[in-house]
Amino acid sequence: MARVTVEDCLEHVDNRFELVLQAAKRARKISLGAEPMVAMENDKPTVIALREIAKGLVKTEVVEDVMPLEDTAGEAIPAPTTEI
């Protein structure tokens, strides 16, 4: 397995902040069952997402709509809450 660097990914993404957003959204899609665009090689979804970005396979429109805004009954999904 080749090591993925931030510099490899930044050749295909405007900045580090966008890289984090794209990688997180793509990793979420992979963990929810989306088909990886690279060989899995027993990697975690985050590493797979970064490898896809480094190869230029992930575009902004690919990672949109990661989570549905409504459940299957058509009702809004409540926002998660955290207690401090």
Task: Report the C-alpha gap between 24 and 30 in whole angstroms.
Answer: 10
**How many C-beta atoms lie closer than 10 Å to residue 53's C-beta?**
24
Please report the domains of the chain, with CATH numbers, ordered by start residue. 6-62 (3.90.940.10)
Euclidean distance between CA atoms 23 and 47, whole angstroms: 9
How many Cβ atoms are within 10 Å of 27's Cβ, its own excluded?
Answer: 21
Q: Give the per-residue pLDDT at 18.
A: 93
**Confidence at residue 64, expressed as pLDDT on a 0 to 100 scale:** 57
pLDDT digits (tens, 9 = 90+) for 32-58: 999 999 998 899 999 999 999 999 999
pTM: 0.70
Of 58, 33, 38, residue with least CA distance to 48: 38
pLDDT, tens only, 2-42 = 688 999 999 999 999 999 999 999 999 999 999 999 998 89
